[in-house]
Structure 1
């Protein structure tokens, strides 16, 4: 063997070894980042009173998520809804949590590709909630918040309630170990 051949083999070996070292570094970094991403996602969720959300939502939808029939009208008064939700500020918290729900769906999509459909449904639901909150902010500016609250707040809360159920179902289907932790937070 000539000296050139030996140098070539050494250079290739160094190149391959450096590629393996780089791959190992980024694999470990991605694994640590994944754990950190999960914790950061959960920290971004704001606390809400789950029982109040369920009470407001289940006043206009049934357990399956379908709107109640005309004969089964809503029983909560706007003042009760205001108190249970926490007013416009409470709805803004729900709106902010919707963004985290979408991020949670994209997070699980890393190993469960079917999550893409749920992420898109969550995005559309978040837009609906954003629309309702926008209407309420407009009503507040015109001094008609009280009369508009039940019309827009209750459907927004019902949509939020269904979104929480979708996120939990997604993590359940994906057989994700974080399901218990997510249940505790939601």
Structure 2
């Protein structure tokens, strides 16, 4: 069951500061978040097993581990390089929060010019038709493996008065607090 809006907001407030600390000392919120991340990262073997299963289920995709930039496990599904590629390509990204029993699946579109990747757009919802099948498989596998629920779009977009990495109010959303502050920055 998805936590309520108030529960998720309370969780975010517990793990991210509501003011900017110019002394660069870890805040109590930072300390709590670091402790949860350290504990969850001990489950990385479970995450790697999930990725191995996902690779078998999505052989037409290159699956990568993107865990590290936020308080979540993250993976990325790139279209197989050996298949014909359109100039604008969608990549599917998925994150399982360390802080709340929720996950998200989203799309990032890139343009490729002279072998250089250039960010074009981020799609949190709705997902483009080109990636819906892949996103659905990843979502189903996450739910089965980790017993978490998808963070509803309207809650992901909820503004929160928190400083999350390099994202500051009024730009900070609940999505940033539970997953990543820069979701389009993929490996």
Q: Same fold (TM over 0.5)?
A: no
TM-score, normalised to structure 1's length? 0.29
Higher relative contact order (CA 8 A, sep 6+): 1
TM-score, normalised to structure 2's length? 0.29
**Is the radius of gyration larger for structure 1 or structure 2?**
1
Would you tell me which structure has more helix in proportion to its own residues?
1
